[in-house]
Structure 1
Amino acid sequence: MRPGRRTARPGDVPPGWADAFPRHGPRHAALVRSCTPLTRSAGARHRTARAAHPRGPPERNTPGTPGAAVARGVDRDRGARGWREAVALDTDIVIVGAGAAGLSLAHRLSPADACGAPGVSVTLVGPPPGPLRPPARTWCFWEAGPGRFDAAVTASWEWLRVRGPRGAVVRRPIAPLRYKMIRSDDFEALVGRDLAGRPLVRRVEATVAAVTARPDGTVRVRGTDAAGGPVELRARWAFDSRPPHRPPPARTRLLQHFRGWFVRTERPVFDPAVVDLMDFRTPQPTRGLSFGYVLPTGRRTALVEYTEFGPAPLTEDAYDRALDDYTRRVLGTGALRVLSTEQGVIPMTDAAFPRRTAGPVFRIGVAGGATRPSTGYTFAAVQRQSEAVAAAVRAGRRPAPPPPHPARARLMDAVLLRALDTGRVDGPELFLRLFDRVPAARLLRFLDGRSRPYEDLAVGARTPVLPMLRTAAELPWLPRRSAP
């Protein structure tokens, strides 16, 4: 189901995916309050990096600096090969992409309480202003109590509601959890301020053309800056959040496509205490399903989205007609003003996303499979992956991102997607039944991929058992096909 995933505007689907997905418009309580930099930020051979260091040309990591120590010691699994001599690096870790995944990893790799720890230099490479920079979007997730990014949270709620096509209503409290909404601009500003105070973290604006593993076990990142000048970085590890040029082979491919309006109404019509997670009082398409999604930020303000699960996105005009019908006929908002819009497409697929491409090069975020296939939730899995990678770096282990979702959850997602795509189950009825018959806390753990096996069985028992079993039985015999 759709709620809680990242949102975007037309053009947010990477060009390499266009064929398959049509384009559409206190760890420690006592912190050291001030730290002497362990070393100046590691250098690079380009104008952008030089401009970021007005005090003089940036330095390369050499033996004796923290970065070089990490370059020699972090890869313990190399065994007898080892690092027999220091390798000159521009940075220990380079992160390609400055969205949720890249920013989150940079943030966790350089915690504020690590001033006395060996330094790990991090370079975060993001695109310069222009068409390659992703538009503003919204991420939603749930957690208990105060969170790391609460300063960027736009709103949060303790109640969720699902409405059936014929008016049935399921409303559930989720305490002690809260469903939280973060705007990407606020998240980027919060994490950006944090990174600006980290002496071993620097940011580079460049369009990356290639991330290449080298025979000596290092990685080279090449690209161009905003002026067209060459950018080249050599690092011990690279974490790439860019999607692959082509999506991996899959048995099922659906699209979760949507458009949202940030609205202000003339009269109070929204309940700011409740999120309408899935409102199926929308006209249902012949294939797939549709629903409304309402995130109220006040009595007169909300983000209202129209979402479909289906084979292809709609035109912008078609989305707007659907939103106009939903807000006026279904929600009864009356006159309203559209303050801004969001639009996007999320692949819903059982494809296996590789988390390692070559040697010291890893994929993170959506590119590394962080999006939950059956729901679109991504933000929480990105945080778990980022913390696992940072913990591995701190411990001197090979920092391979772990699977963002357990194999059991991926199998259940594959069954659900196939059942929806074949029409064997009625989507609105299925989701309404789950929210009605499964305790909220258990269902949210399931949706987050953190439920236990017996809880998964309990959730599965609340679905149409025979169609789901038939689908599960045929999956092993279905070939995974490349996108056309």
Structure 2
Amino acid sequence: MLNTGFHYTIVGAGCAGLQLAMALAEKTQATNKKIALIDKRRPSKNDKTWSFWEAGAGKWDSILSSSYSYAFFKAPNTELKLKLNPYTYKSLKAADFYTYSFEKLKAYAHVIFIEEEVVRIQENRKEAIVTTALGSYRCSHVFDSRIPAAFYNQNRYLKIQQHFKGIRVKTKNPVFNTQAFTMMDYRFSYPDSTSFMYVLPYSPNEALIEFTFFSPFTVKESVYDQYNKNYLKNYLNTTDFEILETETGNIPMSNYPFHKHHTNRITKIGTGGGWVKPSSGYSFKNTEKKVKQIIKNIEEDRLTSYGLYSKKYNFYDTIFLKVLQDNNHLGPWLFTKFYSKNSVPTMFRFLDEESRFKEEFKIMRSLFSWAFIKAFFQTRF
């Protein structure tokens, strides 16, 4: 079957695909340009938790599972309680995002969800053709969230993995401090690695507890389980708890040039487009910003990929990744300096790629070390 009726095709109904689908649906509502959203299955499971920071009210506030005005950062000999003002740290559950997104898309008759697996995308001067196991779909432009195969088949670029296992637990006794979430707790760390506890309290008796690595290697699942349970037992002094849900993941943090896979008729998006911030692993808010840029590009009749890549911040990210690649045990020291020597607005603007040079210089100076200098010159030259 060959369908020729679409103007845009979005491959992948995850975070990036759904955010883009909603934005494009609203943008094209009056133009009758049909949009296809293709994935091998409709997502619905609560398989992850997305978190982000922003100043003031935001478009996702109605589906948040939690929000925080303070954050803890903890490491051996360091304990910080960070006031996030003017920012708020917000979290939402994947299942709520999926439900919200598909309900929004139901209002647009020109958006069609196709439950098929994409096997190939081709293009020529006039069109792009998306081929699935059941048929082919012609369109003017494709937004493709799949990670390029070339990413896995190369060793030239840095590849740190953000891998984790989280458990949403309910305890018999109230043990969680709901005044703040824990960004990183390096008192619980796997030997010679950048690994930490991440905690989102929902109530005094319920929280998401997640043991996370930023490392070039992976570990057995039993390691995550051990550290999650040790945190409950040795820090929160509780062994009486129920595991309500689990979530696992492995997210690439890389300086790989995903942007070089853009073409005139294919724009890479999401993880496959390099939308995961390499130095932090955050993607949800970054995706919202990239989607806005794509819509602006369409409005101004520019290439849809224009402005999606920053050479300057890729350079900063590469230095950071190089340190973690060569000296993964220095991660706790690196993040302790980052959080203790800089203000919250400066750090968040830097991670949001909205900082000024003066702020960037201050951050670089706070991370001054031989490992950082070495990474700088290896990256620069």
Q: Same fold (TM over 0.5)?
A: yes
State the 1:425 CA deviation.
7.4
Q: Secondary structure at the match of 1:187?
A: helix
2:15–2:270 contact (8 Å) kept in structure 1:
yes
Give the counterpart of 2:311 among 380, 404, 407: 407
2:46–2:93 contact (8 Å) kept in structure 1:
no
1:355–1:362 contact (8 Å) kept in structure 2:
no
Q: Secondary structure at the match of 2:223?
A: helix
* CA RMSD after TM alignment: 2.1
Find the aligned partners of 1:152 and 1:128 in 2 and give their Cα distance: 22
State the 1:118 CA deviation.
2.7
Letter in 2 for 1:107: M
Partner of 1:121: 34
**Residues 134 and 412 (structure 1 numbering): CA distance in 2 closer, same or farther, change over 3 Å?**
farther
Give the counterpart of 2:341 among 412, 437, 453: 437
- Any idea what the Cα deviations from partners look like across 1:244-286, whole Å, max 9, x if unmatched? 1231654432222111110011111111120100001114422
The structure with the largest helix share of the pair is 2
Shifted more, 258-267 versus 448-457: the winner is 448-457
1:266–1:300 contact (8 Å) kept in structure 2:
yes
Q: Kindly report which structure 2 residues correspond to 1:191-210, keeping only aligned pairs within 5 A, or say none.
A: 191-210=101-120
Q: Secondary structure at the match of 1:264?
A: strand
Letter in 2 for 1:103: L
Partner of 2:72: 161
State the 1:357 CA deviation.
4.1
Query: Is the aligned partner of 1:374 residue 2:285?
Result: no
Q: Which runs of 5+ in 2 are unaligned?
A: none
Find the aligned partners of 2:123 and 2:175 in 1 and give their Cα distance: 56
Normalised to the residue count of structure 1, the TM-score between the two structures is 0.74
State the 1:331 CA deviation.
3.0
Query: Is the aligned partner of 1:170 residue 2:68?
Result: no
- Any idea what the Cα deviations from partners look like across 1:391-443, whole Å, max 9, x if unmatched? 22233333225325x32221111111212222287221221222112111111
- Any idea what the Cα deviations from partners look like across 1:293-322, whole Å, max 9, x if unmatched? 001111111100011222322222222112
Find the aligned partners of 1:195 and 1:212 in 2 and give their Cα distance: 27
Letter in 2 for 1:317: S
Question: Identity of aligned pairs, percent?
Answer: 27
1:362–1:400 contact (8 Å) kept in structure 2:
yes
- Any idea what the Cα deviations from partners look like across 1:370-407, whole Å, max 9, x if unmatched? 01111101111111111111222233333225325x32
Letter in 1 for 2:230: D
Partner of 1:329: 234
Structure exhibiting the larger radius of gyration computed from Cα positions = 1
Aligned residues: 379
Normalised to the residue count of structure 2, the TM-score between the two structures is 0.93
Letter in 1 for 2:339: F
Partner of 1:455: 359
Which consecutive segments of 4 or more residues in structure 1 shift more than 4 A?
none
State the 1:349 CA deviation.
2.1
Partner of 1:3: none
Q: Which runs of 5+ in 1 are unaligned?
A: 1-44, 47-59, 61-88, 225-229, 478-484
1:279–1:293 contact (8 Å) kept in structure 2:
yes
- Any idea what the Cα deviations from partners look like across 1:19-59, whole Å, max 9, x if unmatched? xxxxxxxxxxxxxxxxxxxxxxxxxx47xxxxxxxxxxxxx
Query: Is the aligned partner of 1:93 residue 2:8?
Result: yes
Find the aligned partners of 1:424 and 1:298 in 2 and give their Cα distance: 34
Partner of 2:128: 219
Find the aligned partners of 2:186 and 2:136 in 1 and give their Cα distance: 50
Give the counterpart of 2:163 among 235, 250, 257: 257
Find the aligned partners of 2:242 and 2:45 in 1 and give their Cα distance: 25
**Residues 396 and 419 (structure 1 numbering): CA distance in 2 closer, same or farther, change over 3 Å?**
closer
Give the counterpart of 2:48 among 112, 127, 137: 137
Partner of 2:188: 282
The structure with the largest strand share of the pair is 2
